[in-house]
Structure 1
Amino acid sequence: MDRSRLRARVVAGAALVVVAAAALVSSPDAVLSRAAWLVADPVRLVAVTVALAAVRPLLAWPTTLLAVLLGYGLGPSGFPFALALVTLTSVPPYLLARRFGRTGRVADAGEAFREQTGDVRSVVASRLVPAPSDVVSVAAGMAGVPLWAFLLGTAIGEIPWVIVGILAGSSAETLAAGDLAGAADLRVVVAAMLVAVLLLGPTVYGWYADRRTGADGAVFGGDQ
């Protein structure tokens, strides 16, 4: 085994250990239970949310937590800051996957999907699907999406989820319950998925048409 592969496995193993250990000793609920203390001082709120954005990938917490906290403390005016933090906190998993995960069948399939769909559109559509944020980030890194396209696509695709988080944070009842999973209105989820389908529809149809054309050509060629 060459050194680069060994180093990649060591880094991946260490990251898994850190995530597992952090998950055992902490949870988003612990942060939400101290929300009143955080929002009492705007400077403290901003500092803590920035720190959470930096370490969130290691803790495997949902990005919605940042929007919820800022919604609770700043209301709708916290939307631009929340969107910026949600976008930036998605970068570490993307960079890790881009550095160490560009080989294998999954990476090849992701790259083929990106080439057919487009860099920005593929990220936007993936973000609109209610899937874990870090999974989408890793997939984009493995597929070789350029950093600028990843940032732009993430910022656009996360807009509905940040809005949901901001509105949920404005509700003291939702925040007190610590119910991040229930924060997203079903109508928002359905609307986001419909937009994702519309974005991916032409690519899926083109892929199907190409396969159908190839299959028909093979059949006709075999008859000659």
Structure 2
Amino acid sequence: MSETAIGEQAAMLAKQNSFLRQHGTKLLALLFWGILVGGYYLYANANELTLLDSLHLVVNFLTASLLGPLFYIVIYALRPLLFFPATILTLLGGFLFGPIGILWTIIGSNASALIAYTVGRYFGQGILDSEEETNLIQKYTQRMRQNSFETVLIMRLLFLPYDLVNYAAGFLKIRWQPFILATVIGSIPGTVSVVLFASSFGTLDELMSGDFQISPLTLIVSIGLILVSIGLSRLIKRREASEN
């Protein structure tokens, strides 16, 4: 084989590897959703299930089975690869499990943060190519390298896009120990408030049947935590502005 042919083959392989690095997670997510939708369609047709029947089956599995919380945690952990919104899963944690959903959601969300961090670290090419995302994150990148824990903690308290922070931390190859510790601490106020807010309206089964009662105390606590989180984020923003 000539040197020209070898060079062309190497260039083709490099191009294929680059494509997989940039779009591998998207292809994986597309494959997952294709299997999920196709599997549901076949199962529902074979058992003559309506959409509401299917929802009841899923809710019963998640809430009445010992494997339910584990399944929820696994789905939450894989969420960055499936492009599923974190807020929806966090709300579901409250609707499905009540206040104990705080624990399952914290475990799942931090596992998902570590997975997204790993994706950013090893497959980070192109993650920060978007001008909008870069402008949002660029003023923190140098600080993230120099003081990882404090910077990630501030970004969590400021409610910057959850996955973008995860990917950026991995892309910048900061140490995972301060990253995950800051994520655990910084995400607690938002997670607790959202899960409590959802659980204050009752279970998902009750909501679907229209038979639910609002828990005033849980709702007040959740709103209070949300207000505290917003106030803390504004305080940090003012401090950031005064330092610049």
Bin of the TM-score, shorter chain as denominator length: 0.5 to 0.7
Match of 1:12 among 7, 22, 27: 22
1:189 positional shift:
4.7
2:119 aligned with 1:96: yes
Deviation at 1:173, TM superposition (A): 6.7
Question: Which of residues 142, 162, 166 in structure 2 aligns to 1:112?
Answer: 142
Change in 2 beyond 3 A, CA 1:88/1:54:
closer
Once the two structures are TM-superposed, the CA of residue 87 in structure 1 deviates from its matched residue by 0.7
Does the 8 Å contact 1:110/1:143 carry over to 2? no
Could you report, residue by residue, the CA deviation over 1:116-157 in whole angstroms, capped at 9, with x for unpaired residues? 6x3122212222334442122112223333201111111112
User: Which amino acid is 2:189 matched to?
Assistant: P
The alignment of Structure 1 onto Structure 2 pairs a total of residues equal to 197
For residues 5 and 205 of structure 1, what CA distance do their matches in structure 2 show?
A: 46
Q: Which residue matches 2:228?
A: 191
The Cα of 1:44 is off from its aligned counterpart by: 2.2
Distance in 1, matches of 2:55 and 2:172, equals: 35
Choose the corresponding residue for 1:39, options 63, 68, 75: 63
Q: 1:161 to 1:32 in 2, by over 3 A?
A: farther
- Distance apart, 1:4 and its partner CA: 7.1
Q: CA deviation at 1:36?
A: 3.5
Larger RCO (CA within 8 A; separation ≥ 6): 1
C-alpha contact (below 8 Å) 2:93/2:105 kept by paired residues: yes
What runs of 5+ residues in structure 1 fail to find an aligned partner?
178-182, 209-224
Helix, strand or coil: the match of 1:171?
A: coil
Change (3 A) 1:110 1:11: same
Q: Which amino acid aligns with 1:111?
A: T
Name the larger-Rg structure: 2
Quote the Cα distance in structure 2 between the aligned partners of 1:37 and 1:119: 40
Equivalent residue in structure 2 for 1:169, among 199, 206, 223 = 199
TM-score by length of 1: 0.66
Query: Aligned runs of 1:67-86 on 2, under 5 Å?
Result: 67-86=90-109
Partner-residue secondary structure (3-state), 2:174: coil
Who is 1:145 aligned against? 174
Q: Does 1:205 align with 2:228?
A: no
The two structures, once aligned, show a CA RMSD in angstroms of: 3.8
- Deviation, 1:201, is 4.5
Pairwise CA distance, 1:193: 3.6
Aligned pair partner of 2:189 in 160, 180, 187: 160
Report the Cα offset of residue 98 of structure 1.
2.1
Distance 2:200 2:140 in 1: 38
Q: 1: distance between equivalents of 2:78 and 2:69? A: 15
TM-score by length of 2: 0.62
CA 1:16 to 1:50, structure 2 compared with 1: closer, same or farther past 3 Å? same
* Structure 2 unaligned blocks of 5 or more: 1-10, 38-50, 209-218
